[in-house]
Amino acid sequence: MKFLGGRFLKKYLILFIAVLGIWSCGKEEKTADKSSGGNAETCAVSTGETKTEDVKVTVPKGEEITVDGKEVTILNKRIKVGDKLEDAELISPVGEFNKMQKVKLSNDKGIKVIYTAPSLDTPVCSLQTKTLDSKAKEHSNVFFYSITNDLPFAMTRFCSDNEIHNLKTLSDYQGHEFSSKNGFLMKEYQLLTRAIIIVDENDIVKYVDYGKEVTKELDIDKAMNFLENDLLKK
């Protein structure tokens, strides 16, 4: 009996220590979140070809991104002026699934205007893509893109129905590689947030504008003024 009692006592002691350790870890994590200031976003950061790890990135107050007023999480650090745009494979529009082609932005050499958005089949995305197509016609020496997670077939239909001829629509739907690497993917929706960036001939970011409310339009005129007065006139 003494032997059994000692063994059970040992088991209960081990269980008590384990529970205490779990409780302590949870308490420390909450304390760390509070002491960091701002809002902590859990972000997937690429550590290789396929592996990602979760880290916490503090979003400064006033820079939160919302959908209908509710804050969303942007995976990975948001791209900023001075960063180099991470290259990634995207899918070009096609009419048949067995003819899909992967392309990279690095294949185009020159200044690039890149618009990211949730879907071409939504009013704001559709309107702003049409606007940028007309701007692309005025700047034939600049590459313009609209990148979403739409299927390539939907992009083909959209471009045909809306006579999009000057801007390239590209899809990030397969692996979200472009949006996750460069900080455009909304975790809650698995769609790209609304943003516009301009990069120079070396793919260095010179202009970036994340829409604070994804359902609202971006200021395209402001971006075009920067393109014309700060980049093209140099």
8 Å CB contact between 26 and 174: no
d(CA 177, CA 211): 21
Tokens 């979200």 map to which residue?
A: 176
Residues 30, 36, 37, 39, CA torsion sign: negative
Active site includes 125? yes
Residue pair 50/44 in contact (Cβ under 8 Å)? The answer is: no
Q: Quick one: which of 178, 233, 227 has its CA closest to 206? A: 227
Any idea which residue has 């003494």 for tokens? 2
Residues in the chain: 234
Tokens of 160: 């045909």
> Shortest CA distance to 85 belongs to which of 204, 195, 185, 224?
204
Phi, psi of 220 (to 5 degrees): -70, -35
Report how far apart, in Å, the C-alpha atoms of 104 and of each of 55, 89, 128, 172 are. Answer: 27, 5, 23, 11
Select which of 25, 43, 125, 159 is catalytic.
Answer: 125
Please list the active-site residues.
125
